[in-house]
Structure 1
Amino acid sequence: MWVSVALAGLVIGLALGALGGGGSILTVPALVYLLGQSPAQATSGSLVIVGVSAALGMAAHARAGKVRLAHGFVFGLLGTAGSLAGSRLSAQVPSHVLLSTFAALLFLVAVLMLRRARTPQLSLEASVGSPSGASAWSWSVPAVARVVLAATAVGLLTGFFGVGGGFAVVPALVLALGFEMPVAVGTSLLVIAINSA
């Protein structure tokens, strides 16, 4: 059993560090089905595992200059309220409902990933503006509203499912802030670490 746990941990760490998300989606099932934890225990445990892994991975991305610290802190702090609300709501939901909803979330993420994979890279870059990933922070009302809504939604998912929200943070950083993918991945790890704390 411990060999399976070690392999699962390795896969989770690789997914989180390389993609800026995804590791947490593997953590909850691993804790439930490999270690026999209840969904509630796995949800809480996942936050600790993902938070530590994200912080370590973020340090490597920061050394490579692929983390926007100010943007990541603001996005992460805005998501904290959603994370707290999600955690409280999760405690009130029966285990079988939590697992069923989590399975539905996995399906939705798979569909979104397939759609994104079919999107030509050129049109994606054109839709977010500068390919440099260092776009200026826009303080217009629509831009601020997008950031607040995206950060809150990501925090809510983080608290409710015990997932880091990287699968939502990366697209949010690309679409709301105009980051290129490598920068979005690195900054996502900072946001995940904050939301998981």
Structure 2
Amino acid sequence: MEYLGYFASIIIGLSLGLVGGGGSILTIPILVYLFKVEPELATSYSLFIVGSTALFGCLSHYKMGNLKIKSALYFAIPSVFSILIIREVIFPKITETLFSIANFQVSKNFMIMVVFSILMITSAISMIRKTSPKLKLIKTNYLQLSIIGFVVGIVTGFLGAGGGFLIIPALLFFANLPMKQAVGTSLLIIFINSSIGFGGDLYIGTPINYPFLLTITCFAFIGMIIGTKLSKKIDGNKLKPIFGWFVLIMGIYIISKEIFLN
């Protein structure tokens, strides 16, 4: 299973390089199901892996002129505040067992995976149904962009998800960016959010297996290199529904496994 996990880690970077998101959607299931990492710890590992890989891809997209710094900062700064609130104040206070239904105990780890899968399914349906809007010469709505950034920060803080599957639609519809610029800008936001989240985890003393973490990240880097090169040749708009179906399948699998197979 570990060899399969290392191969799957390449797809983490491939996803980030091609569509600017989805790295965390893959990272959490890979860590939990293939490497048997506890979901709570997997959220910390995911922040490092996705954040490091996003930085690598961000530099490549900067050279291609696909970064919109102003939009990224309006989105990322509110995210930072919500991430810190969730990871440093709220998350540590959540008990391991939340409540019981008959003989079934609802744990923190169970809740992480179920909420994660529901978010995946919702996001996937959005990507499958909606098409990217054509670029229009209208003013970017920075207030709405910041509000959405705050909400994505909550997701990042609770689930250890970079939030690219939420950031991309926000940049398309509220920052009015074409797909390729949305991808590059998304990577910058993911890097900022993930770095803050992982730094907070180090501050509160989360135990980290660095050799394992760096190994997974290196495989993700390989995927990012491939994905970034392919993004120059493939229309990003065509990738959205394909990626959406993949996310949908993953989400259904996770929720089915957690509820019926555990």
TM-score in same-fold range (> 0.5): yes
Matched, 1:115 2:129: yes
CA distance in 2, matches of 1:65, 1:105: 31
Cα drift, residue 79 of structure 1:
1.1
Structure 2 partner of 1:67? 67
CA distance in 2, matches of 1:129, 1:36: 46
Identity %: 36
Structure 1 partner of 2:158? 160
What is the letter of the counterpart of residue 21 of structure 1? G
Mind listing any 5+ residue stretches in structure 2 that lack a counterpart? 96-107, 196-262
CA distance in 1, matches of 2:172, 2:163: 14
Query: Pairwise mapping of residues 28-177 of structure 1 onto structure 2 (< 5 A)?
Result: 28-87=28-87, 88-91=89-92, 92=94, 94-116=108-130, 119=131, 124-125=133-134, 129-130=136-137, 138=140, 143-177=141-175
- The answer to whether the Cα contact below 8 Å between 2:142 and 2:175 also exists between their aligned partners in 1 is no
- The answer to whether the Cα contact below 8 Å between 1:154 and 1:169 also exists between their aligned partners in 2 is yes
Cα drift, residue 35 of structure 1:
1.0
- The answer to whether the Cα contact below 8 Å between 1:90 and 1:161 also exists between their aligned partners in 2 is no
Tell which structure's C-alpha radius of gyration is larger: 2
1:92-140 Cα shifts (integer Å, max 9, x gaps): 2611111111111121122111112xx3x5xx21xx523xxxx76x5xx
- The answer to whether the Cα contact below 8 Å between 2:82 and 2:150 also exists between their aligned partners in 1 is yes
Mind listing any 5+ residue stretches in structure 1 that lack a counterpart? none
Cα drift, residue 144 of structure 1:
3.7
Moved more, 101-110 or 35-44: 101-110
Matched, 1:181 2:188: no
Aligned structure 1 segments of 4 or more residues deviating by more than 2 angstroms: 85-91
Structure 2 partner of 1:5? 5
What is the letter of the counterpart of residue 163 of structure 2? G
Question: Alignment partner of 1:177: what SS?
Answer: coil
- The answer to whether the Cα contact below 8 Å between 2:71 and 2:142 also exists between their aligned partners in 1 is no
Q: For the structure 1 residues 90 and 29, does the alpha-carbon distance in structure 2 shift closer, same or farther, using more than 3 Å as the test? A: farther
What is the letter of the counterpart of residue 150 of structure 2? T
- TM-score of the two chains, using structure 1 as the length reference: 0.85
- The answer to whether the Cα contact below 8 Å between 1:157 and 1:163 also exists between their aligned partners in 2 is yes
What is the letter of the counterpart of residue 13 of structure 1? G
Q: How many residues align?
A: 181
What is the letter of the counterpart of residue 57 of structure 1? G
CA distance in 2, matches of 1:188, 1:162: 16
Could you say what the CA RMSD is over the residues aligned between the two structures, in angstroms?
1.7
What is the letter of the counterpart of residue 175 of structure 1? F
What is the letter of the counterpart of residue 183 of structure 2? V
Question: Alignment partner of 1:37: what SS?
Answer: coil
- TM-score of the two chains, using structure 2 as the length reference: 0.65
Cα drift, residue 23 of structure 1:
1.1
CA distance in 2, matches of 1:40, 1:2: 20
